[in-house]
Amino acid sequence: MSIKVDTMLFELAKLREKHQEAQEAAKRAQEVLETEPLWQKVQSFKTDAAVVGELVGKLETEIKNVAIEEYMINGVKDKGGVQIKVFTNLEYDEQAAVNYCLAHQHATLLKLDKRGFEKVAKELKPEFVKIEEVARAQIATDLSEYLEK
């Protein structure tokens, strides 16, 4: 490689080394911190909050289910703290929908599978597709040899 790339790789290797040292220092500091009573208290509060949060989620789901059951019986949508909203849900066969869109001039509603198309286009080489090789650089994980220079 050129002197410019070698110099940049040396700088990158130094930065990676500093990054690793900083991560290790943070890990050691956290290990010390985790033995402190205040840290343990904070973790206890976090655990309590997670447990209560899970209970809140379960009760919210149960309230919603009961409110929907009552709505189905009496048709009342607003119960003070709970409102029922009705949405339209569509279920259909995807292939039938594609066929319908193509048959009724709604092709603009169809989304292109780019990955699938590009795989096929590489093989079939349609004239409207420009195919070119593009160089990309990949930096080695281990740059220790540049630190030794």
3-class DSSP state of 148: coil
CA 84 centroid distance within chain:
31
* pLDDT the model gives residue 149: 66
pLDDT (tens digit per residue) in 65-105 = 999 999 999 999 988 899 999 999 889 998 999 899 999 98
Hey, where are the domains in the chain? 36-135
Mean pLDDT of the chain: 92
Name the CA dihedral angle for 80, 82, 86, 87, rounded to a multiple of 10 degrees: 140
More confident residue, 2 or 50: 50
pLDDT (tens digit per residue) in 44-55 = 999 999 999 999
| Spatial contact of 3 and 130, defined as CB atoms under 8 Å apart | no
Determine if the pTM surpasses 0.75.
Answer: no
Average pLDDT, integer, range 56-66? 95
Paired tokens of 146: 């540049």
Distance, in Å, from the CA atom of 27 to the CA atom of 124, rounded to the nearest integer, reads: 53
Nearest to 110 by CA among 95, 98, 125: 98
Distance, in Å, from the CA atom of 13 to the CA atom of 147, rounded to the nearest integer, reads: 7
Q: What is the share, in percent, of the chain residues with pLDDT greater than 70?
A: 99
Average pLDDT, integer, range 137-145? 88
For residue 147, pLDDT beyond 90:
no
Distance, in Å, from the CA atom of 29 to the CA atom of 35, rounded to the nearest integer, reads: 10
Distance, in Å, from the CA atom of 112 to the CA atom of 123, rounded to the nearest integer, reads: 18
Q: What is the share, in percent, of the chain residues with pLDDT greater than 90?
A: 74
